[in-house]
Structure 1
Amino acid sequence: MKKIGILGGTFDPPHHGHLLIANEVLSALDLDEIWFMPNQEPPHKQKSKSITNEDRLEMLKLAIEGNHQFRIQTIELERNGPSFTVDTMKIIRANYKNHQFFFIIGADMIEYLPKWYKIDELVQLVQFVGVERPEYNHDTIFPIIYVDVPAMEVSSSIIRERLKKGKPVRYLLPDSVIQYIEENHLYGT
């Protein structure tokens, strides 16, 4: 049975923090692969209006290039409307019967879990993996495996803001992603 970690997000843009989390969970839990799963319409936040799904997908491809254990799962991009994890996991489990799934969430999402759509059903479909961060409360009634990841205070929103202001983003993003952003004049560059 293959053990697959799933890291969902807007990846708007994908950055070194995403890659660090994926790599640390892959190693800590001895997983076979990490699937990066870009959302179509996350119910809890807005993605950039000016960036297309194709741009996000291309940046993600560039970000994970060269790591044979990193893959992209596009199931949520292929559906319309809000992306509810429980619906996605039902489809994935039906299509990959001989796989065990570990859904990676940040410390901010651990606090938010009670508000997830059909959370009681979802915990039967997937094992949650929480990435710990000291400024968040990790108390929850839900079964979570915790993985320590070196702190990297970076977010896509910080990067978008820096790009809009013309500030440097080197070392926050893979160079190939920076080049794609500049060549395609994304985020106000």
Structure 2
Amino acid sequence: MAKIGIYGSSFDPVTNVHLWTASTVAHRCKLDRVIFLPCSSKRKDKSLNTTDEHRIAMLEMALKNNEKFILDDYEMNQDSWNVYTYHTMQHFHSLFPGDEVSFIMGADLLEDIAEGKWKYSDELIANNKFIVMARNGIDMLKTISRSPLLRNYDDGTRFHLIDKGLAMEISSTYIREELAKGGEPRYLLPDACYDYVKNHGLYQ
């Protein structure tokens, strides 16, 4: 049985923090693979800053030297903007029957689920395991204990909380803002991706 983590994000652009986070999670949780899942540009809750083609190209460059990292454009290829994590996880469970598939997310998203902001949240929590990464200012244990939904499924294996050394705040947003204002974020994203951004005039 393989252990697989599904790492969804906009990756707009992919950053060195994304890669470092995925590598650390894979090491600590003994994952065999981390699937990088760029979100659909059709989603109404996302405002993306470049095209799917650019995001895919940068991810391909960033992931090519790590055999544990896999790019999957499943959500990008859905016809509808109405793409929900519950259905995405159903897809990956059917794709990897018999394997342990977990959803990787930040503690901020755990709070959103606890507050009922996600569609099919009951079904999502009931049928999946989660690797939850620390975010500054969020107490993950309190988030779970205060939510009837989360605490009633907390059997000791549902949520793998990683609360040490992962609360880094350098984000894709930070990099885009630096580029837009003439800053220099060169060492915050892979060299090939930095060159790609510059060559294509992205985020200017």
Residues 130-186 of structure 1 deviation map (CA, whole Å, 9 limit, x = unaligned): 101232232224242111334422111111111111100122111110001111111
Bigger Rg, structure 1 or 2: 2
For residue 87 of structure 1, report the CA deviation from its aligned partner.
Answer: 1.0
RMSD: 1.5
Aligned to 1:145, which of 157, 160, 163? 160
**Taking structure 1 as the reference length, what is the TM-score of the superposition?**
0.92
**Counterpart of 2:181 in structure 1: which amino acid?**
K
The equivalent of 1:162 in structure 2 is 178
**Taking structure 2 as the reference length, what is the TM-score of the superposition?**
0.85
**Counterpart of 2:103 in structure 1: which amino acid?**
F
Q: Cα–Cα, structure 1 residues 59 and 46, in superposed 2: closer, same or farther, change >3 Å?
A: same
Distance 2:8 2:127 in 1: 16
Distance 1:25 1:44 in 2: 26
Whether the 8 Å CA contact 1:86–1:119 is kept in 2: the answer is yes
Structure 1, unaligned stretches of length 5 or more?
none
Q: Which moved more, 1:6-15 or 1:135-144?
A: 135-144
Q: Cα–Cα, structure 1 residues 44 and 108, in superposed 2: closer, same or farther, change >3 Å?
A: farther
The count of residues paired between Structure 1 and Structure 2 equals 186
SS at match of 2:186: coil
Distance 1:176 1:89 in 2: 31
Structure 2, unaligned stretches of length 5 or more?
none
Aligned to 1:118, which of 109, 117, 120? 120
Q: 2:176 aligned with 1:174, yes or no?
A: no
SS at match of 2:178: helix
Q: Give the % identical residues.
A: 34
Distance 1:90 1:151 in 2: 29
SS at match of 1:7: strand
